[in-house]
Structure 1
Amino acid sequence: MTIYGNAISGNCHKVKFVCDRLGIPYRWVEVDLSKGETRTSAFLAMNPAGQVPTVMFDDGRPLAQSNAIMQYLAEGSDLIPTDAFDRALMNQWLFWEQYSHETAIAVRRYYAHILKKPDGEIDPSLIEKGKRALGVMEGHLAARQYFVGEKLTLADLALVAYTRLSHEAGFDLAEFPAVKDWVRRIERDLGLNS
């Protein structure tokens, strides 16, 4: 299996987290977004949307979208709850991550940290939206260790990818102590360095 990804992308980190946690072997191909490498005819033949991560399996089948890739790779593992309702809760958080979390925190990180734009050139609503997302997480984590049930699931892996980098977007996790503790817990569970 080959992962076409970019090392600065939290969405790409999510796929790597699953592979590393489950011991799934892979080859990483770094894709330089700034050079238009997702817009080549070869890349678009794998993923017409021209996005990373994209996985190419050894049998020639491609798969895109980080959360879809994660679910496929983790099928039958302890990262996906066996209880149907808990699986639905996990999916609830996976959808929320892409719609409400990533669209603020990852987008602001891209402008502030990657493109190095000054605050005055970045949509100010991204801070409010990101703080609202972190506030939702704070409330949910106030009485629990993980997002679903009592153990690590794909919901945690998806949400930690950009949350652990939120300082690069201008967010201070000291304002969200339950989230900050959760990030450290998930990083420990995954064997990541802070």
Structure 2
Amino acid sequence: MSDWPILHEYAPSGNCYKIRMTAALLDYPIERREYDIMQGETRTPTFLAEVNPNGRIPVLQVGDQFLPESNAACFWLADGTHLVPYDRFERADMLHWMFWEQYNHEPNVATLRFWMKWVGEANFTDIQRAQVPVKQQAGAAALKLMDAHLAGREWLVGADLSLADIALYAYTHVAEDSGLFALADYPAVQAWIARVEAEPGFVAMGA
């Protein structure tokens, strides 16, 4: 075993992808350890005891320490680098977008992607079925807010790519996977996606 951090992950997850992309953009080597969430591999007694008692991934393992939550893991990798703004306000604004991603964007855009692509409409509970239009409306509102903010600017915060862009790119660029969003409706977001993908060191989700 090397001294590199270990990413405990499910590769199709955007939350896991954020961490891989952060590491790639920084040329920071990490090991990857895959779990199949569809088979309950993060709910086993061993995983709960040794990796994350919350039974969720991603988790970034640093030596014998375990750091859950995708945006926290991204911050651990990027702290002190060009992906975290030096300016105090811009640094706080980066965190604002990362918090917003987890509260307003991911619970709608990412959840619908998972439900539609992995769970399947035929297997929806009554609660899920009732929540689809609500989450679709909230997800569209999140994408519209991003589009308005990105109109006339290149990045979410400041003049350069930051963790805010990485955190929001992860699920935004695959928003159409659910069949419920059309990125063509958000031209500033589409242009921003292209800029992220042109960054040196960028890796695609499936890499």
TM-score by length of 2: 0.89
CA distance in structure 1 between the aligned counterparts of 2:59 and 2:202, rounded to whole angstroms: 24
More off after superposition, 16-25 vs 158-167: 16-25
- Could you tell me which runs of 5 or more consecutive residues in structure 2 were left unpaired when the two chains were aligned: none
CA distance in structure 2 between the aligned counterparts of 1:181 and 1:113, rounded to whole angstroms: 25
- Look up the match of 1:8: 12
What SS does the aligned partner of 2:156 have? coil
Paired residues, number: 193
CA distance in structure 2 between the aligned counterparts of 1:123 and 1:134, rounded to whole angstroms: 16
CA distance in structure 2 between the aligned counterparts of 1:192 and 1:180, rounded to whole angstroms: 17
What pairs with 1:1-194 in structure 2 (closer than 5 Å)?
1-45=5-49, 46-57=51-62, 59-117=63-121, 121=129, 123-169=132-178, 170-189=180-199, 190-193=201-204
- Could you tell me which runs of 5 or more consecutive residues in structure 1 were left unpaired when the two chains were aligned: none
What SS does the aligned partner of 1:124 have? helix
CA shift for structure 1 position 116: 2.4
Q: Deviations over 1:17-59 (max 9, x none)?
A: 11111111111111100111111122112211111101112x2
CA shift for structure 1 position 187: 1.4
CA distance in structure 2 between the aligned counterparts of 1:55 and 1:179, rounded to whole angstroms: 29
CA shift for structure 1 position 192: 3.9
CA distance in structure 1 between the aligned counterparts of 2:61 and 2:203, rounded to whole angstroms: 25
CA distance in structure 2 between the aligned counterparts of 1:184 and 1:112, rounded to whole angstroms: 25
Higher relative contact order, chain-length normalized (CA < 8 Å, sep 6+): 2
Aligned-residue sequence identity (percent) comes to 39
What SS does the aligned partner of 1:38 have? coil
TM-score by length of 1: 0.94
